[in-house]
């Protein structure tokens, strides 16, 4: 059995709170477990709002931040213990597409530069003609034509074109995994489907897995199979995307889905939502469920200890004491049993 592509074990990231810091520590991510198999390729959604820790996870996986505790294993090797050569392989196989399609381009160079950098630094080829052919092919995969695009400056292209170019750039390396951090949130609504479609095609035709990080559950519903919903650094609900969306169990996820504005005047928001005052929201809870201050079903035990992940169905788990009647699975098992092919 081949080692899984990516294994995240009890990943925890805490910012600040050192000996000399005045502000209390912020737990950006707590004990996250995630396993991506080498095959088949999947689109896994990490869903959450601001402060959920989803961007922190992206930084950790991409090597821009270091874990406070826990491990990240790439094809069986711990990333913190990699040699320089192994790190280069890691970089090659774990690429990214970011949210802002403009900021990722160096305004001094023509857009071709993003390809040249990759070809040069990873030594994909030394032959100019071969490089041109590779770029041409990568562009065709995302539906762009090289002669119209390559010689332009970033500000001369539309947001959708720039984002597609970024996907083409990642594709050039034939990575195993692309971390897509809000890839369509800054793209026009009518062009989002185009980019999401490219992601699906890359998964099916090229075997590239995606870690799709987003706050938009609707797009996640359309393209991903597995999902983890984060709330303030902890997993609220995880499992099959379809199941979570169709039968959300966690009160937070229920609230989230109910608040998505549906373009149907007959489906207006049912009731008014009132958020508790900010103090309650910002209280640094040292123990207990992070959602408790806002939860309409709060019980005493909720503030006592963080609820474990409880199995509520096949490939469906919730971190909520409301579901404690059913058998809860000890932690060690959950890391491997969550993803059923």
Partner 1 sequence: MTMEHSPNGAKKTQVVLAVRDLSVHYPTPDGDVIAVNHVSFDIYKGELLGLIGESGCGKTTTALAILRLLQPPGEIAGGALVLNGTTDLAHLHATQLRQVRWRDVALIPQGAMNSLNPVMRVRDQISDSIRAHESRRISNSEMRERVSKLLRLVGLPERVEQLYPHELSGGMKQRVCIAMAIALNPSLVVADEPTSALDVIVQRVVAQNLLDIKNRLGVSILLIGHDMGLMAQLADRIAVMYAGNLVEIAPARAVLKEPLHPYTQLLIEAVPSIKERKPLQVTEGLTHDLRYPPPGCIFQARCPFVMDKCRRVRPPLQVVKPNHQVACHLYNAME
Partner 2 sequence: MAAITADPTTPAAKARRHSARWNSPWLNAKLLLGLGILLLIASTEFIGPFFVAPKLAIIGSSPTNVVPVWVTNYDKRQGFKPPNPEYPLGTESKGRDMLAVILVGTPRTLRVGLIGAGIGILVGIALGFLAGFNGGWIDSSISTLADVMLTIPGLAVLVVIASYATELEIVNMGAIMALFAWPLPTRVVRAQVLSMRERGFIQMAQLSGTSNFDIMFREIMPNLLPYLAASFTESVALVILATIGVETLGLGPTRIPTLGMTINNALQSTAIYRGMYWWWGPPIVMLIFIFVGLFLMTVGLDEIANPRLRQVRRQ
- Least Cα distance to 290 among 22, 26, 3 occurs for 26
- Binding of partner 1 by 283 (CB under 8 A): no
Instruction: Indicate left, alpha or beta for 223 from its phi (over 0: left) and psi (-120 to 50: alpha).
Output: alpha
- Binding of partner 1 by 83 (CB under 8 A): no
What is the rounded distance in angstroms from the CA atom of residue 172 to the CA atom of residue 187? Answer: 22
Supply φ then ψ for residue 150, to 5 degrees: -60, -35
Q: How many CB atoms are closer than 10 A to CB 140? A: 12
Positions in the binding site for partner 2 (CB under 8 A): 62, 64, 88, 91-92, 95-96, 98, 100, 102-109, 114, 117-118, 121-122, 143-145, 148, 169
Closer CB to partner 1, 137 or 218, in the complex: 218
Q: Name the binder of 159 from partner 2, partner 1, none, CB < 5-8 A by kind.
A: partner 1
- Binding of partner 1 by 264 (CB under 8 A): yes
Among 103, 117, 281, 299, binds partner 1 (CB under 8 A): 281
Q: Name the binder of 62 from partner 1, partner 2, none, CB < 5-8 A by kind.
A: partner 2
The span of 221-229, 295-303, 309-317, 328-336 binding partner 1 (CB under 8 A) equals: 221-229
Q: Name the binder of 50 from partner 1, partner 2, none, CB < 5-8 A by kind.
A: partner 1
Q: How far is the CB of 84 from partner 2 (least distance, A)?
A: 11
Q: How far is the CB of 341 from partner 2 (least distance, A)?
A: 29
What is the rounded distance in angstroms from the CA atom of residue 317 to the CA atom of residue 302? Answer: 17
The span of 59-67, 131-139, 167-175, 217-225 binding partner 1 (CB under 8 A) equals: 217-225
Query: CA-based angle 126:198:223, to the nearest 5?
Result: 140
Among 265, 296, 330, 341, binds partner 1 (CB under 8 A): 265
DSSP 316: E
User: Cis omega (within 30 of 0) on the bond before 40?
Assistant: yes
- Binding of partner 1 by 26 (CB under 8 A): no
Closer CB to partner 2, 80 or 259, in the complex: 80
Q: Name the binder of 160 from partner 2, partner 1, none, CB < 5-8 A by kind.
A: partner 1
242: Cβ–Cβ under 8 A, 6 or more apart, which residues?
Answer: 221, 225
Three-class DSSP category at 132: helix
CA atoms within 13 A on the CB side of 255: 16
How far is residue 139 from each of residues 120, 177, 179, 325, measured CA to CA in Å?
18, 19, 19, 53
Alpha helices in 207-299 (DSSP H): 217-223, 241-246, 251-258, 278-282
The span of 88-96, 98-106, 130-138, 186-194 binding partner 1 (CB under 8 A) equals: 186-194
The span of 34-42, 62-70, 172-180, 271-279 binding partner 1 (CB under 8 A) equals: 271-279
The span of 18-26, 61-69, 158-166, 203-211 binding partner 1 (CB under 8 A) equals: 158-166
Q: Where are the beta strands (DSSP E) in the chain?
A: 6-15, 26-36, 43-47, 69-74, 77-78, 94-97, 177-181, 209-214, 226-231, 234-240, 310-313, 316-318
Binding site for partner 1 (CB under 8 A): 49-50, 143, 158-160, 188-194, 196-197, 200, 215-219, 221-223, 242, 245, 255-257, 259-265, 267-269, 272-275, 277-278, 281
């Amino acid at each position: 059995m081949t080692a899984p592509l990516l294994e995240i074990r009890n990943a925890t990231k805490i910012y600040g709170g050192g000996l000399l810091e005045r502000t209390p520590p912020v737990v950006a991510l707590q004990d996250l477990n995630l396993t991506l198999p080498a095959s088949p390729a999947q689109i896994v959604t990490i869903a959450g709002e601001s402060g959920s820790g989803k961007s922190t996870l992206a930084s950790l996986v991409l090597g821009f931040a270091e874990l406070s505790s826990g491990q990240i294993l790439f094809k069986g090797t711990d990333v913190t213990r990699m040699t320089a050569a192994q790190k280069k392989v890691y970089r090659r196989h774990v690429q990214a597409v970011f949210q802002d399609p403009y900021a990722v381009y160096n305004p001094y160079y023509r857009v071709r530069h993003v390809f040249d950098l990759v070809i040069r630094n990873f030594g994909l080829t030394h032959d100019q003609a071969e490089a041109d052919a590779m770029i041409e092919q990568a562009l065709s995969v995302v539906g762009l034509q090289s002669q119209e695009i390559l010689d332009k400056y970033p500000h001369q292209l539309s947001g959708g074109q720039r984002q597609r170019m970024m996907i083409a750039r990642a594709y050039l390396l034939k990575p195993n995994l692309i971390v897509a951090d809000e890839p369509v949130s800054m793209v026009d609504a009518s062009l989002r489907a185009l980019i999401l479609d490219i992601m699906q095609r890359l998964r099916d035709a090229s075997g590239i897995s995606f870690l799709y990080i987003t706050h938009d559950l609707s797009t996640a519903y359309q393209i991903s199979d597995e999902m983890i919903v984060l709330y303030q650094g902890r997993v609220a609900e995880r499992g099959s995307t379809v199941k979570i969306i169709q039968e959300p169990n966690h009160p937070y996820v229920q609230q989230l889905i109910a608040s998505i504005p549906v373009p149907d005047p007959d489906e207006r928001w049912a009731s008014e939502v009132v958020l508790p005052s900010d103090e309650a929201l910002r209280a640094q809870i040292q123990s207990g469920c992070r959602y408790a201050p806002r939860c309409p079903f709060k019980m005493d035990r909720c503030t006592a200890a963080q609820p474990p992940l409880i199995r509520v169905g096949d490939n469906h788990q919730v971190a909520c004491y409301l579901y404690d009647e059913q058998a809860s699975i000890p932690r060690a098992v959950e890391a491997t049993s969550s993803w059923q092919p």
